[in-house]
Structures are given as structure tokens and as C-alpha cells.
């Protein structure tokens, strides 16, 4: 029944938590005036955390691919299992889209020059 290693499970929940923190932090930063130095400081933390989240996502996907722990029993073929798989794929896609769009915004507004 247990198809994932403890390390993968910990990584999963750590990433879920980090995503929520990055999400709320982004909303908070967006509400700050561009004239505040505080905004730049927070953005540096936000961008670093976002980058780490993106990198850990890649690590997790590679680890899953290498260990192939998913769906080895009969349940693998039932509709619920397929739904869960599709849901996770969509979720991964959204996370990467957020990370990439964050990087795109940072490049567009010349964040490197600002920092």
C-alpha cells in the first residue's frame, strides 16, 4: 500500500507548505509601494524561495521517476487513481508556470539591476 519513501513524503508536504508561503508572500509584496526598500528586500527572499521551490520540484520529479513508486497494484487502473494522476500532473504544470512567470517578471522589470 505504501508507495512512496518517507523522504518523498516529507518533500511533498514541505513543498506544499513552501508554495502557500510563497503565494501569500507574493500577494503581500505586490501590495507594497515600489518606493519602499523593504519591497526589494522581501522580493529577494521571495525570488530565492521561489527558485528553491522550483529546484526542489525538479528533484522530486526525478526521484519519483527513478524510484517509480507509483501505482504498482491493481488499484493503479481504477478511475480514481487516473484522476489523481491527472490532478497531480496539472498541479506540477501550474507550479512550473508560476515559477517561470515569476522569473519572466523579474527579467522584464530588470530585478537584477534593482537589487
CA dihedral 50, 55, 56, 62 (to 10 degrees): 150
Q: Which residue in the set 27, 33, 68, 72 belongs to the binding site for ligand HEM (CB under 6 A)?
A: 27
Grid coordinates in use for 39?
519591497
Using the structure block, give the residue that is written with the C-alpha cell 518523498: 8
How far, in Å, CA of 56 to CA of 58, rounded? 5
Grid coordinates in use for 85?
494522476
Binding residues for ligand HEM restricted to 64-103, rule: CB under 6 A: 98-99, 102-103
Minimum CB separation from ligand HEM for residue 52, in Å?
Answer: 9
Is 11 one of the binding residues for ligand HEM (CB under 6 A)? no
* Chain residue at closest Cβ approach to ligand HEM: 26
How far, in Å, CA of 115 to CA of 105, rounded? 14
Q: Which residues bind ligand HEM (CB under 6 A)?
A: 19, 22-23, 26-27, 29-30, 43, 46-47, 50-51, 53-54, 98-99, 102-103, 105-106, 111
Amino acid at each position: 500500500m505504501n508507495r512512496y519513501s518517507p523522504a518523498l513524503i516529507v518533500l511533498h508536504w514541505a513543498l506544499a507548505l513552501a508554495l502557500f508561503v510563497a503565494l501569500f508572500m507574493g500577494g503581500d509584496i505586490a501590495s507594497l509601494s515600489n518606493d519602499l526598500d523593504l519591497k526589494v528586500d522581501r522580493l529577494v527572499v521571495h525570488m530565492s524561495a521561489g527558485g528553491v521551490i522550483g529546484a526542489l520540484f525538479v528533484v522530486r520529479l526525478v526521484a519519483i521517476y527513478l524510484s517509480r513508486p507509483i501505482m504498482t497494484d491493481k488499484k493503479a487502473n481504477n478511475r480514481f487513481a487516473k484522476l489523481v494522476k491527472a490532478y497531480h500532473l496539472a498541479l506540477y504544470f501550474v507550479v512550473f508556470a508560476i515559477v517561470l512567470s515569476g522569473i519572466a517578471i523579474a527579467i522584464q522589470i530588470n530585478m537584477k539591476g534593482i537589487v
